[in-house]
Amino acid sequence: MENYTEISPYSDDEVPGIIRRLKNNQVFLSKFSQFSFPIISSIFPLLGNVLFKLKFSRFFGDSQSIEDFQKNIAPLFTQMINTTTDGFSITGEENLLGKPTVFIGNHRDIALDAAFLNYTLYMKDLKTARIAIGDNLLDKDFAEDLMRLNKSFIVHRNIIGIKETYRKLHRLSSYIYKSVTVDLESIWIAQREGRANDGNDSTDIAVLKMLFLSTRNTLELKEWLEKINLTPVVISYEYDPLDAVKVRGRDGWKELDKDINNKRDVEELIAGIRGNKGRVHLHICKPIRSELTSLDQIAEAIDISIQRNYKLWPTNYFSAKELSKTYSSYKNLYEDNNKYKELSVFMKRFQNEKRSTTEQILKNYAYPVLNQKKVRIKSS
């Protein structure tokens, strides 16, 4: 029997102890007091910590289970939506079938992509999903505690050795399949490792191979699809709080110490939560058809679903329009309307960036427009 303790979320009986640990974690209190009490924390940091500890205790002190924790975090998530977005909308709700599902989504924000899905499920009185996170976020500190309290499980990356790679991937695959078919818990997993920092949402077939790995000798592909109810989800943000960071801040990251990269990832996780996102939209796509006969076909179907249903914002069209002045490939991708007059603020976000950086940022915003055009041409 597989042992999933190393990768699984916290269990209900661990919750009270983790809550106590967070209440006494000064780094955690400091990071989030700056968000909850920015003025006080900037002048009196220790007072800010005390105030946030009281607030955290008020919201989570009575949490005795994962369900309690998520119930208590919902009002704070609503507050985050109200203060850092210009609205959150959902379409495709008819595709939420109320049964355990592997949701496979595009990946733009470290924490919020899956959180918006779980918020949607919670508000509809459906069970929330277990969330796949990379081990790059395992800081052995508050970020890991918060994510594992929120039903996150661990995906190991950069595994050394063929046997060890197979063992860990097989265990992960088995855990996901057991979650859906035995535990009756849904799963959220990104369509590829890491965020789509270039704005291009595409499925890495290695993710599908991992998902199918533990059942490939016992189930036909069609039966496997039916059992896991594989369903693409697509999220889009009008503004990406980390749009410039993703372009200029990742050079040479592979050469950096793991702890340094981990610290950067956690800082970006917090920045994504705190930053202005404009409007946010989530679409639940139709489940992938069981008549597909290969993982390549499934990957293509996921890409088409996500790219076709990506909610395009004026920032996406505006970026394509700006690029069309230089690159012919971006011509005729934008809607010609007066919304662009309001987007001088958008360009001011990058006024201190190098020209090459700004151009790449615009390409990242324009890529979903380009992908959607390709899907329309392919479907016509």
In the numeric block, which tokens belong to residue 271? 């920045």
**Better pLDDT: 188 or 144:** 188
Q: Could you tell me the pTM of the whole model?
A: 0.92
Residue 343, pLDDT > 90, answer no
Residue 290, pLDDT > 90, answer no
Q: Model confidence over 149-195: pLDDT tens digits?
A: 999 998 987 778 889 889 999 999 999 999 999 999 999 999 998 88
Which of the four pLDDT bands, split at 50, 70 and 90, describes residue 219?
very high
Which of the four pLDDT bands, split at 50, 70 and 90, describes residue 269?
confident
Which runs of consecutive H residues, i.e. helices, occur in the chain? 15-23, 26-36, 38-43, 45-60, 66-84, 112-123, 142-149, 162-181, 205-213, 221-228, 243-248, 258-274, 295-309, 314-324, 344-348, 355-379
Rg (CA), the chain: 21
- The CATH topology of domain 67-291 is Glycerol-3-phosphate (1)-acyltransferase (3.40.1130)
361 bridge partner residues = none
Helix (H, G, I), strand (E, B) or coil at 298: helix
Give the side-chain half-sphere CA count within 13 A for 310: 34
Which of the four pLDDT bands, split at 50, 70 and 90, describes residue 257?
low
Q: Which helix (H) or strand (E) holds 189?
A: strand 187-190
Q: Average of pLDDT values for 143-153?
A: 91
**Better pLDDT: 122 or 135:** 122
Q: Average of pLDDT values for 133-152?
A: 84
Q: Model confidence over 314-326: pLDDT tens digits?
A: 899 889 888 988 8
Give 92's DSSP letter.
-
Which pLDDT does position 252 carry in this prediction? 58
Q: Model confidence over 19-70: pLDDT tens digits?
A: 999 999 999 999 889 878 889 998 999 999 999 999 999 999 999 999 999 9
Which pLDDT does position 3 carry in this prediction? 81
**Better pLDDT: 76 or 341:** 76
Helix (H, G, I), strand (E, B) or coil at 190: strand
Which pLDDT does position 308 carry in this prediction? 96
- Mean model confidence pLDDT for the chain: 90
Residue 106, pLDDT > 60, answer yes
With CA atoms as reference, report the closest residue to 319 among 335, 338, 298, 299: 335
Give the start-to-end residue ranges of the domains of the chain: 67-291, 314-379
Residue 336, pLDDT > 60, answer no
Which of the four pLDDT bands, split at 50, 70 and 90, describes residue 344?
confident
Which pLDDT does position 363 carry in this prediction? 95
Identity of the highest mean pLDDT range in 124-128, 133-137, 157-161: 124-128
Which pLDDT does position 50 carry in this prediction? 95
Residue 117: count of CB within 10 angstroms of its CB = 23
Q: What are the angstrom distances between the C-alpha of 202 and each of 2, 137, 161, 232, 296?
A: 31, 22, 27, 12, 12
Which pLDDT does position 340 carry in this prediction? 57
Which pLDDT does position 11 carry in this prediction? 94
Which pLDDT does position 342 carry in this prediction? 62
Which of the four pLDDT bands, split at 50, 70 and 90, describes residue 304?
very high
Which pLDDT does position 230 carry in this prediction? 98
Which pLDDT does position 328 carry in this prediction? 82
> d(Cα 10, Cα 168) in Å, to the nearest integer?
19
Place of tokens 């063992």: 167
